[in-house]
A and B are shown apart, each in its own frame.
Chain A
Amino acid sequence: MFSLFKKKSSSYSATLMPSGKEIRVKRGENLLTAALSAGVKWPYKCRVGSCGTCKCKILDGKISPEIDFGYVLNFDELNDGYALACQTALKTDIKVMVNLKK
């Protein structure tokens, strides 16, 4: 219950797999924006959670979806921990698998 009173971190780390590159994601920022700001060539198109291009798989850690992913990701993807980076805020440090643009 004391976790309720824990001070929230101002940023969390996201380790991008398979490269192992680590980026910081500030509170109030989404994973895609943080990655693009860090110069990561993360694939994206619409940036509003409608196209699914920025899809990634959360391997470890907790996220907070900013919209319902169920309209874009299918049932299996949801169960396998897939997320839309442009609509993903972090609740802890995470490890995420993403196919970056060449």
Chain B
Amino acid sequence: MKTFYVNARYLIVPVMTIATILGLFIGNSFAWLGVILFGINTIVDTLTKNIHLRADFDDNGNSYGIKKLQYAVMYLMLPAFIFLQVILAWRLYQYTSVTSFETLSFLGLSYQSGISGFNLIGSVLSAGLWAGLGIIYGHELSHNRKEGFLVSRLIMALSGASHFTYAHVYNHHLDLGHEDDPATAPRGRNVYSHAWLSHAGQSQYSYDLEREKLKKQKKSFFSLSNKWILGYLYSLPSILLFVWAGGVLGVLSLTVIWAISNFLLEALNFMGHYGLIREKGKPVEHRHSWDNDNLFTSWFFIEIGRQGDHHVRGETYFWELDDVDAPNYGIGYFSLFVLTLFPPVFRRFTQKLLDDWDENKATVAEKEIANQFKNLSIS
């Protein structure tokens, strides 16, 4: 029973992604289902903000997580996200070809053929939000074996962010908490500028990584061994699909989807490390990440909030990550995400927590760096 509970609780995103796909397929107001689910999740996350969880292990210290099942789910999310884009492209095609409105049936399921402009907006927003939330699988698989790494790259490519997989492992995990890591937001930065700076910085890192590697291998930069170029080529089918389905409107829709999904990805990076400081070259420790162990966040985001443990034991499966007494916001990611959208509110919220970090967790050298921010009146 415990095994079932531990494994089933991580299925919220797959189930809701399928619901979003079905919503797009059924059409009408159901096209907004993905947006509505995002709103409901925010409410549930806020209502359960005081419930914190630890990882579950049996008496022998073994995890209840079933690796084969969890991996199968993560791998299956790739076709699910592809399907999400295909369904949206179909709706775009219907809109641009002015398909007449009528109720039809497919395998016993009634759906509306044809879509209004308003519901098309709902479809695009729904697809963007769930493509973005699905990035948690791209993250988890970036730390795993060859085939998992490739699936991660392909999932990220659906959001035009295949460079993430390399930058995350070789840059973020190595340079965390330091200015060399574009994914760590320094104090005073807001989520909007971070989204762009982190995205562009990680792509630049991946570009430099490939340039150096190919130089060492005496290969041309313009080669299929170039993983930076290859990553963007993986995104090409999405671009072609949307151009075919909607022309200029298709390109605009894909741009919105990529903007939303990358914004959510970078918001996760933002929340994971905002304002925390590490001296270059010093070991990454639990105090260099914000933990998030709220019930709904833990289940929904497949424990991605356990950043403290993850950054010290990067090879550990998500279901085995645990509380490590890292700094903690105390509220879940959905609630926190809403705060990040209002930078002055977010800064006020984190001020006390960062002061506490400086006082009780920072080393002398880290405290000195924090003081440099304070001297510039950045908090």
| Chain A residues engaging chain B, CB cutoff 8 angstroms | 30, 33, 45-51, 66-67, 70-72, 74-75, 86
Contacts and interface: CB of A to CB of B under 8 A. Distances in A.
Contacts of B170: 50, 71-72
A84 to B, nearest CB: 11
Nearest to A29: B315
14 contacts: A33-B315, A46-B174, A46-B314, A47-B312, A48-B173, A48-B314, A48-B315, A51-B174, A67-B146, A67-B149, A70-B217, A71-B170, A71-B209, A86-B315
Contacts of A66: 144-146
Contacts of A75: 216-217
Interface in B151-191: 166, 169-171, 173-174
A86 B314 CA distance: 10
A72 B143 CA distance: 16
B284 interface: yes
A65 to B, nearest CB: 9
A70 B216 contact: yes
A101 B207 CA distance: 34
Contacts of A50: 169-171, 173-174
Max count, chain B CB within 10 A of own CB: residue among A47, A48, A50, A71: A48
A19 to B, nearest CB: 25
A48 B175 CA distance: 13
A32 to B, nearest CB: 8
Contacts of A51: 174
Interface residues of B, number: 21
B313 interface: yes
Interface of B: 143-146, 149, 166, 169-171, 173-174, 209, 213, 216-217, 283-284, 312-315
A74 to B, nearest CB: 6
Contact of A47 (B209, B213, B315): B315
A72 B209 CA distance: 10
Chain B binding surface, main DSSP class: helix
A49 B169 contact: yes
Nearest to B216: A75
A49 B145 CA distance: 11
Nearest to B312: A47
Contacts of B143: 48
A91 B300 CA distance: 37
A51 B146 CA distance: 19
Contacts of B313: 47
B315 A71 contact: no
Contact of A70 (B145, B146, B213, B284): B213
A45 B284 contact: yes
A22 B83 CA distance: 50
Nearest to A33: B315
B321 to A, nearest CB: 13
Contacts of A30: 315
B174 A74 contact: no
Max count, chain A CB within 10 A of own CB: residue among B209, B216, B217: B216
Contacts of B169: 48-50, 67
Contacts of A71: 166, 170, 209, 213
Contact of A45 (B144, B171, B216, B283): B283
A23 to B, nearest CB: 17
B91 to A, nearest CB: 39
